[in-house]
Amino acid sequence: MAIKIFYPENKFYLLYSVVLTLLTISYSNAQPKFTGKEDLLSTPKKYTAFFNAESPKIDGKLDDAVWKNVEWTENFKDIEAEKKPLPTWNTRAKMTWDNKGLYIAAELLDPHVWAYLKNYDDIVFYDNDFEVFIDPDNDTHRYYEFEVNALNTMFDLFMAKPYRNGSGALIAYNAPGMKWAVDIQGTLNNPSDIDKGWTIEIFIPFSAVTLGNSPKVPIDGDFWRINFSRVEWKTEVKDGKYVKLKGEDGRNLPEYNWVWSSQGVINMHFPERWAYLHFSKQVSGDSKNSFAIPYSEEQKRYLWYVYYLQQDYYQKHKVYASDLGKLGVTQLIFPVEGKENKLWMEAGTQQFMVFISSDEQVYSVNNEGLVQMRKQPPKH
């Protein structure tokens, strides 16, 4: 009988071969990286709004008993997060809800509170303002924007889809039943003193955010996409009034955009970047940690990665890429949080739809950024 002897160098070679094979398999199945798009694909903030049978009085003062047990969000950061310095003055918000609607409170520290726009549906962000963005069904289309300044002037609008996808704002939309109020801790439009800031309360009825959606009161466990923005202009005082600073070209210097959940781009109209608002029937709890972002949201990050790459490709070539390989996406089967997923795309020169699936549910994003869910995978 022949006996094969393995010398130490043979053992080393065998071990090396096994390790190399495992590394190769691991690499081939590794999930693709979001190269160049990391800022647009970071995980958004999350917040749990707990149910309150008693509603706060909408007067802007935030002194109701309802608010005392409701947690604040984190302080706002620049819209581009760590790319820019921290905001000069802190901003934070909190939320609760009842069967009628959502209640939002916000605190904006500011030593010089000013506002000049007075008419409903004036373009309020030409003043310093506080803004709310809501997408109730998380498809990035059919969403709402509410802006208010320190004069309590409201600008509300409806977006059929984001500006990037060829939509305009429906300014004629007026949220029925909405209430809002501002309280100023100091004086308004008085440069001679130092203010503490201003606070805001907003009530948004669920019935008011149903245009283009099926009317729905959230149930325990539902979530919306939401974000907040604070616009702050650079000013000086002239003739007793606050005046925006101008650059050498005579135009207003760019405003600061301070947000709760980083957008990763100077544009609030990327609804896929907004935070997660979780509705809970509990009466108290940890508003920032009690909600687990659904697995499907992690899957969608890969769809958005392809979407952003396609937009870049279109800008350069005036047509969309016909296959994922032209975008540099070559790993089409990969694990997402331990579950195998498959990625594929159907595309023409002016349209595309990218899909991802790990089981019977298939998620897609098309060239207009519309997110959809299907039960059965289409043929491909």
Those residues with Cβ within 8 angstroms of residue 338's Cβ, 6 or more apart along the chain or in another chain: none
Residue 321 one-letter amino acid: A
Those residues with Cβ within 8 angstroms of residue 67's Cβ, 6 or more apart along the chain or in another chain: 56, 94, 96, 105
For residue 24, pLDDT beyond 50: no
For residue 6, pLDDT beyond 80: no
**Residue 306: per-residue pLDDT:** 98
Q: What is the pLDDT of residues 148-180, one digit of tens each?
A: 999 999 999 999 999 999 989 999 999 999 999
Q: What is the pLDDT of residues 187-207, one digit of tens each?
A: 999 999 999 999 999 999 999
Q: What is the pLDDT of residues 80-116, one digit of tens each?
A: 998 899 999 999 999 999 999 999 999 999 999 999 9
Most confident by average pLDDT, 6-10, 24-28, 208-212, 289-293:
289-293
Nearest to 169 by CA among 140, 137, 133, 144: 144
Q: What is the pLDDT of residues 50-89, one digit of tens each?
A: 999 999 999 999 999 999 989 999 999 999 998 899 999 9
C-beta separation of 80 from 264 below 8 A:
yes
**Residue 19: per-residue pLDDT:** 37
Alpha-carbon radius of gyration of the chain:
25
Strands 46-51 and 91-97, bridge-based pairing: parallel
Confidence (pTM): 0.89
Q: How is the beta sheet containing 339-347 ordered, strand by strand?
A: 333-336, 339-347, 352-357, 362-366, 371-374
For residue 359, pLDDT beyond 50: yes
Q: What is the pLDDT of residues 215-258, one digit of tens each?
A: 689 999 999 999 999 999 999 999 999 999 999 999 999 999 99
Dist. CA 275–CA 225, nearest whole Å: 6
Q: Whats the size of the chain, residue-wise?
A: 380
Residue 368: Cβ-neighbour burial (10 angstroms; 0-12, 13-18, 19+): middle
Dist. CA 134–CA 148, nearest whole Å: 15
C-alpha torsion sign, points 158, 160, 163, 166: negative
